[in-house]
Structures are given as C-alpha cells and as structure tokens.
C-alpha cells in the first residue's frame, strides 16, 4: 500500500454556518461521481457495526433518530451480540442486519444492502456533529473528492487527549489516510470500484483509505466527530498512545493484521 505523500494545498469551503471542509485543489463542481444525484437529493446511508453494545446503544440510537427522519438510511449490522443489542435496535425502530463477526465483514454487509449514494461508516462510540450530513453533501459536491472523513476529538478528562486528537487530525490530513474513529464516508461507486473493505481483523479503514487515495485524496471536514476516550483512560493514555503507534508502524512494515489484532486486544 502506498505511503503518505507530501501535503497538498487545501481550499476552505463552508459546509454549514461557521464550519468548513478542506479539500485538496479546488476547481469546478461536478456531480458525475454520484450518478444523477445532487447535493440536494443525495441519500446518505449510515452503517454502524455492532457487537454487544447494549450500554452504548441507547445514546447512539437517540442521536441517529433525527438523521433517519431527515431521509438518511440507517443500517446497524450486528455481528452476533449475546446481550440486548438487537432488541434495543428493533425497539427503537431501526433496521438491524445480521452478519458474521468482524468489523470489516459487518460494514461490507451493510454496504451491500445500503441504497444510498454515499456510505458513511460510524462506530457505536462516535458521535457525529450537528450538521454533519450537510458537510458530507458539500464535501462530495466537488468532483475531485470521492470520499472523506471528519476531524476527531476524544472525550475524557486527561489533558493529553486533545493533543492526541490534534495529532491524529494533522497526520490524517497530511497522509490522506483515515482511521475508523473519523467517520469515513465514500461515494457508492468508488466504494464498489475498489471492492469495499478487505477482510482484516484490524486496520481495515486504514487499508481502504490507501486504495481510495489512488482515486482521489480525501475531503477533510474540519468540524469534529466525538469519540469515546474510555479505552485511553482505562488502559492508560501513554500506554495506549505507544501501542497505537507501534501497531501502525508494524502495519506499515507488513506485519500480519491478525498479529496486530491480538496485541490490540
């Protein structure tokens, strides 16, 4: 997979009052990547992989309900939960799909049944900002970008978490590589063209980013999603930061993702 290249001139585009999306280059707007869709009628499918998430689901479903009511398609893909996850999803009026366990498998299963023009992949513990859908519409209205991601903030009280999030955002903008916490979104045609997620136990979003980057660099939405810092704080912020860097470094060195997944757990 190709390494990150140097930085590209970034152009600021307003996607909501006071917010911005940064896209490489610029140029004329065209919508051929969406087929006949336009920003006004583009349908976004939000795909959420789920596994034993009964504690986090109520808050997530409450946040997703307005998006479903605003014409987004919401698909939650269960990987074999043994808790009340499926019941909670169905009781809230959302569509739940069944899949083999594995985040990549689950997201591919959701994408296969999604009907939207754009696929947005969201973790259970990640919260989209208000106006996120408008930002995605604006980001992909420029024909030079066929996928993208949000900047991220990490919730929690440790003073290093904002620093870590800023480093993640800067690294992603420079390399054109997204992580799973950044709510990756991609045009349906581009997702299908590259064959979706590789069946990996870890690094599946990073791996897909590398293939999508051969088509275009990502649109980087500056408004931030919020992801849980629970893992960082319970396992130790410094220890987790070193672990993440080691995992990423070993991935680029070619270490098998199966081995990396064991270390991550």
Q: What is the pLDDT of residue 24?
A: 47
Question: Please, which residues bridge with residue 136 across strands?
Answer: none
Q: Are strands 118-121 and 44-50 parallel, antiparallel or unpaired?
A: parallel
Looking at residue 44, its pLDDT comes to 97
**Contact between residue 25 and residue 223 where contact means Cβ atoms under 8 Å apart:** no
For Cα atoms 195, 228, 154, give the angle at the middle one, nearest 5 degrees. Answer: 95
* CA angle, residues 53, 68, 65, in degrees to nearest 5: 50
What is the per-residue pLDDT for 38?
Answer: 55
Would you give per-residue pLDDT tens digits along the chain (265 residues)?
A: 433 334 334 444 445 443 444 444 443 333 334 444 555 578 999 999 999 999 999 999 999 999 999 889 999 999 999 999 999 999 999 999 999 999 999 999 999 999 999 999 999 999 999 999 999 999 999 778 999 999 999 999 999 999 999 999 999 999 999 999 999 999 999 999 999 999 999 999 999 999 999 999 999 999 999 999 988 888 889 888 888 888 888 878 888 878 877 777 7
- What is the structure's pLDDT at 40? 58
pTM: 0.84
Phi-psi bin for 152: left (phi > 0), alpha (psi -120 to 50), beta?
beta
Contacts of 199 (CB under 8 A, 6+ apart): 102, 104, 105, 108
d(CA 42, CA 34): 8
Task: Please enumerate in sequence order all residues whose Cβ is within 8 A of that of 227, keeping only pairs 6 or more positions apart, or say none.
Answer: 123, 125, 126, 127, 152, 153, 154, 155, 181
pLDDT computed for residue 10 by the predictor:
42
Domain boundaries, the chain: 10-234
Scanning the chain, the segments in alpha helix (DSSP H) are 57-69, 85-91, 103-113, 132-141, 160-175, 188-194, 204-212, 230-235, 237-253, 257-264
Tell the CATH topology of 10-234.
Spore Coat Polysaccharide Biosynthesis Protein SpsA; Chain A (3.90.550)
Cα 150 from Cα 56, distance rounded (Å): 21
């Amino acid at each position: 997979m190709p390494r990150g290249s140097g930085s590209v001139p970034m152009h600021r585009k307003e996607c909501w009052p006071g917010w911005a999306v940064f896209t490489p280059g610029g140029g004329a707007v065209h919508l051929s990547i969406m087929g006949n869709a336009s920003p006004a009628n583009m349908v976004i499918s939000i795909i959420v992989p789920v596994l034993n998430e009964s504690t986090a689901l109520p808050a997530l479903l409450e946040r997703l309900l307005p998006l479903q009511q605003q014409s987004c398609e919401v698909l939650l893909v269960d990987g074999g939960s043994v808790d009340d996850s499926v019941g909670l999803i169905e009781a809230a009026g959302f569509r739940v799909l069944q899949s083999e366990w594995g985040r990549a498998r689950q997201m591919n299963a959701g994408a296969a049944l999604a009907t939207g023009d754009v696929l947005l992949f969201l973790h259970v513990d990640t919260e989209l900002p208000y106006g996120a859908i408008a930002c995605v519409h604006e980001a992909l209205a420029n024909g030079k970008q066929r996928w993208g991601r949000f900047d991220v903030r990490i919730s929690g009280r440790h003073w290093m978490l904002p620093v870590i999030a800023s480093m993640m955002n800067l690294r992603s903008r420079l390399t054109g590589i997204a992580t799973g916490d950044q709510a990756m979104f991609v045009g349906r045609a581009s997702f299908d063209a590259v064959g979706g997620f590789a069946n990996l136990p870890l690094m599946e979003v990073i791996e897909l980013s590398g293939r999508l980057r051969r088509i275009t660099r990502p649109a980087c939405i500056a408004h931030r999603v919020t992801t849980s810092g629970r893992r960082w704080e319970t396992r130790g912020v410094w220890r987790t930061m070193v672990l993440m860097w080691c995992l990423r470094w070993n991935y680029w060195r070619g270490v098998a993702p199966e081995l990396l997944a064991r270390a991550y757990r």
